[in-house]
A = this chain, B = another copy of it.
Amino acid sequence: MKIDPNSPADLSAQIASAIRDAIVSGRLIVDERLPSEAELSEQFEVSRSTVREALKRLAAQSLIRTQRGAFGGAFVNRLSYEDAHNGHITTSTVLLGMNNVSFDTACEARFALERACAHLCAERRTADHLATMRAEIVRQAQPGLSDEAFCASDVALHRALVDGAGNPVLSYQLAGAVEAMQPLMNMITFTARDRAEIVRLHGRIADAAEARDGTAVSDALQELEGYTKTLAQSVFAARAKAQSAPAGTAR
């Protein structure tokens, strides 16, 4: 592993890149201990601070973990589904927030992905998954629920649907998409009438999952997508109208 001191790129970035390649390609295996910071600084012929900055970059990606004390050091980290999942949510959230992604585009992507596991979920869901979905539906029908709590429950329900497919790789990919949509959903105020319709469609999803009818799950999701889009449209339209109305009508 070599670096180029004359490259315009930061030395710490180059070092991080070199070590990252070694991890991704499998030359460094899980739980293997990297050389100590002092040894690395000798190998790369840089100071210890530079090595440390490189290691922090890798730690930020959960590729290594560090341990203090004797026989401590930096170890190649086994990337857990949970870590990958959390990173994915952060990235997706920032991506949606920063790139003026329209509600429709995000919504379309989210439901397209979710339908991808409709059939698998219908086939493999356990009683547990179904119970979770039913419980969230009951919660969503309670009148006093705040919009945030309603959205959180919505996420939990869809999460159960995704997990029901019994494929952790799929769960990792999808849960990121579903949860990253939450900030956008939180921007919508749900009237009692809206909630009743959503709960009804959630009920259809649960019924279809119970009956192990994948196509019905998919169809219900499709309808939910349509309803969510029109709902968002009307909320945004109403908000735009309030904006242009005389001052004093705004809160």
Establish whether residues B112 and A98, one from each chain, have CB atoms under 8 Å apart when the complex forms: no
Q: Which of B57, B98, B165, B167 contacts A59 (CB 8 A)?
A: B57
Looking at A99-107, A132-140, A192-200, A234-242, the stretch in contact with chain B turns out to be A99-107
Q: Which of B61, B96, B101, B113 contacts A91 (CB 8 A)?
A: B61
Q: Which residues of B contact A81 (CB under 8 A)?
A: 95, 99
- Expressed in whole angstroms, the minimum distance between the Cβ of A162 and any Cβ of chain B is 11
Q: Which residues of B contact A53 (CB under 8 A)?
A: 52-53, 56
- Chain B, residue nearest A110 (CB): B169
**Total copies of the chain:** 2
Is A35 located at the chain interface by the 8 A CB criterion?
Answer: no
Establish whether residues A170 and B108, one from each chain, have CB atoms under 8 Å apart when the complex forms: yes
Is A168 located at the chain interface by the 8 A CB criterion?
Answer: yes
Report how far A88 CA is from B59 CA in the complex, Å. Answer: 16
- Expressed in whole angstroms, the minimum distance between the Cβ of A41 and any Cβ of chain B is 14
Report how far A124 CA is from B203 CA in the complex, Å. Answer: 32
Residues of chain A at the chain B interface (Cβ within 8 Å): 12-13, 16, 20, 23-24, 26, 30, 49, 52-54, 56-61, 63, 78-79, 81, 84, 87-88, 90-99, 101, 105-106, 108-109, 112-113, 115-117, 120, 165, 167-170, 172-173, 176-177
Known: A12-B56, A79-B94. 12 other contacts (CB 8 A): A24-B97, A52-B53, A56-B57, A79-B91, A79-B98, A105-B167, A108-B120, A109-B169, A112-B117, A112-B165, A115-B116, A173-B177
